[in-house]
Amino acid sequence: MRSGFAVVYHPDYVAPLPDAHRFPMPKFKILRDLLIKDGVIEPEQIFAPELPDLDLIQLVHTPEYVQAYCNGTLEYKAQRRIGLPWSKALAHRTQIAIGGTILAAKLALNYGCACNTAGGTHHAFPSYGSGFCIFNDLAIAARVLQQLGLVKQILIIDCDVHQGDGTAYIFQDDSSVFTFSMHCEANFPGRKQQSDLDVPLPIGLDDDGYLQILASYLGDLLTQVKPDLVLFDAGVDTHVSDRLGKLSLTDWGIYRRERMVLSTCKAGGYPVASVIGGGYGKDISALVYRHSLLHRAAQEVYH
């Protein structure tokens, strides 16, 4: 395994979607450009994913749901549950996102760390989508790498402000994938699923309180699971200014969180593939900077 980190970027992530103030798609290109401008990454570190076969998506999701969504025949009620109206461009972008997380997982095995510039759709269940999540890229990547024989045991560290309920449900009876979710207790989803380890957090928790709790679990978790691969959902909706959060982390707190997770994984020799997860706000520049903290931390830890 080489020492360093790779970045997965999706050139198709440029078309805005409805309600862009809450779910701004141009942020992915802005993120890539910011990382290059600030010298966090070099162009040769960037890899582009391929569109995955639907068979790979169906390792996690039912064929009926996959076909209905990709073909544009998903009923209106199901689209409302997702929260995003169907379009051909969105369906294509969704599949590319999955390819990106699969590629990041593969690259992590070679480089030690790989960071996706998207991903983290952890609210998607096998037969339906929810909470802006259509297909569960983390679960699909886990299944694909296991099917390829590249890994056996996987640990999912989900630090998005919302519980990874879809991921928890998908792997509820599968001991080969350990799900850890550290989330705000009084936030979406209203009905929580049972992860292998859930850590509900109180409203308004600040940097120091958050990091102390994470540190109390992280090392023991890695030692217990001994994963061949860690999948890290680095959602920044934990930020104090996030419109859909309820915690009070600052930029510095989020950066310290990313460094803690990545440095602990590196110290233990565990490869880690990261996705940017959730983040919602009108100020796209501020939001993109928060997402860039994952990549900045990776550059510090692995270079």
The two structure tokens encoding residue 57? 């998506």
* DSSP assignment string, 250-299: -HHHHHHHHHHHHHHHHHHT--EEEE------S-HHHHHHHHHHHHHHHH
Active-site residue (options: 123, 162, 239, 291): 123
The two structure tokens encoding residue 28? 């992915």
Cβ pair 296, 256 in contact under 8 A: no
Tell me how far apart the alpha carbons of residues 23 and 15 are, in angstroms, rounded to a whole number: 12
Tell me how far apart the alpha carbons of residues 138 and 203 are, in angstroms, rounded to a whole number: 26
* DSSP assignment string, 100-119: HHHHHHHHHHHHEEEEESS-
The sign of the torsion formed by the CA atoms of 70, 73, 77, 80 equals positive
DSSP element (H, E) containing 178? strand 177-184
Catalytic-residue membership of 123? yes
Would you tell me how many other CB atoms lie within 10 Å of the CB of residue 211?
Answer: 18
Instruction: Encode 203-243 in three state secondary structure.
Output: CCCCHHHHHHHHHHHHHHHHHHHCCCEEEEECCCCCECCCC
Tell me how far apart the alpha carbons of residues 128 and 150 are, in angstroms, rounded to a whole number: 28
> Residue length, the chain?
303
Residues annotated as catalytic (active site), given as ranges: 123
